[in-house]
Structure 1
Amino acid sequence: MHQHHAPHGRLTAQETAMLLGITMANLRVIVHRGQLRRAGGTRYRPQYALDDVTALHATRAARTTQSA
């Protein structure tokens, strides 16, 4: 299996899903709902901006903390 790396400031889909603690299928749902936008890559190897992913992570963490 080949390891693909995103440019500085971007994450691969796999890295994004791992950071958010979700599956690839859930990542696709989040993107489809417009909660996260692609920042490059290709159709089959999307990339996401690190800043966008960390902001989404913080939002999701705050929601989890508030509901607890």
Structure 2
Amino acid sequence: MGVDRHPFRYYRTEYAVERFIEGSGLPYSILRATQFHELIAQVLGAAAAVPGGDAAAGRLSLSAG
């Protein structure tokens, strides 16, 4: 997902936390799991709330799992 280069504040914060953990001297593992389907569903749901956005959202049907 490129959290080290992503413009969204959420991902920049996640990356900063990873750097903090790495510098702590404690043993660690970092797992970056991308929940793509849920993200797209949220984006399309938000688009449907905008006038004219429901047309674009209605063309796709997403299901996770």
Structure with greater proportional strand content: 1
Question: Shared fold (TM-score greater than 0.5)?
Answer: no
Normalised TM-score (structure 2): 0.31
Pick 1 or 2: higher relative contact order, CA cutoff 8 A, min separation 6: 1
Normalised TM-score (structure 1): 0.31
